[in-house]
Amino acid sequence: MDSLGCYAILLVTGLVAGFVDTVAGGGGLITLPVLLGVGLSPQDALGTNKFQSSFGSGSATFHYARAGVVDLQDCRLGILFTLIGTSLGALAVLQIDPAFLKQLIPILLVGIVIYLMVKPRVGFVEIQPRIKTGMFYLLFGLGLGFYDGFFGPGTGSFWAVAFMCFLGFNMTKATGYTKAMNFTSNLFSLVIFIAGRRVHYDYGVVMAAGQLVGARFGARAVIQRGVRFIRPVFLTVVAALTLKLLYDGYWLSR
């Protein structure tokens, strides 16, 4: 494939992934296979993916904040504890094999799909919080931040459901706050990959351009169309992520 054709594919991939990731998370399902397909090593693909996805999550956070979906002042504690959790997770992955999570996470994701199917009205309206905001961010910021630094797949799905179930957010608001948390952990992970010289910048910049555009359109769709638009996309992405993890686990066990 010539360079121009490769860059065109990466640009379109970034655009589509930015849209999907802004609406429901799971953009890595689209971007990582493409980065591997154009010849990057797994380590360089992961680093380049973090680089370009940081632009998407940052753009989505900006648009959600500007539209009033996210109050960044309100989630300062979440950003702080997510940063701490991600740091601990990144350190832990150097000491512990995360392979056992490949068996556990698909089960949890299936649980999310079943829960949302059984409770079809979850996320349509805001409800009373079940725990205090500070305690929520302490528990989930540290816990999901750690998980994202340690393993990662499905983090956005877990954040969205946590916001809906424990803080009572509707799905639109939960999606916006999830992007702010994702952006926090993406940035820290990116620093690690840059330090390790694992970012392919020319590919990353092209995909980042697509991410910026896709994230803008995704945020606009969420803001304008709300829960009825987010829900089916969210369920589809979670199901796809589950199948991918199950598939990866099957081949790794052979």
Would you call 74 helix, strand, or coil by DSSP?
Answer: coil
Q: In terms of Cα–Cα distance, which of 28, 15, 8, 14 is closest to 237?
A: 28
Take residue 228 and report the two structure tokens written for it.
Answer: 């009825």
230 in Cβ contact with 175 (< 8 Å): yes
DSSP 199: -
Question: Quick one: pLDDT at residue 253?
Answer: 54
What contacts 128, CB < 8 A, 6 or more positions away? 168
Distance of CA 47 to the CA centre of its chain: 15
The tally of CA atoms less than 13 A away on the side-chain side of residue 171 is 25
Token pair 């399902």 is found at 29
Single-letter code of the amino acid located at 24: A
Per-residue pLDDT of the chain (254 residues; tens, 9 = 90+): 558 889 999 999 999 999 999 998 888 889 988 998 998 988 888 889 989 999 999 999 999 999 999 999 999 999 999 999 988 888 786 677 767 766 777 888 888 888 888 887 878 888 999 999 999 999 999 999 998 888 777 888 899 999 999 999 999 999 999 999 999 998 888 888 898 888 999 999 999 999 999 999 999 999 999 998 999 999 999 999 888 888 876 555 55
The string of DSSP codes covering 120-152 is: TTTTTS----SS-HHHHIIIIIHHHHHHHHHT-
Q: How far is residue 75's CA from residue 67's CA, in Å, rounded to a whole number?
A: 16
Q: How far is residue 201 from each of residues 2, 91, 197, measured CA to CA in Å?
A: 18, 25, 10
The domain limits of the chain are 3-253
Q: In terms of Cα–Cα distance, which of 193, 88, 76 is closest to 147?
A: 88
The tally of CA atoms less than 13 A away on the side-chain side of residue 240 is 15
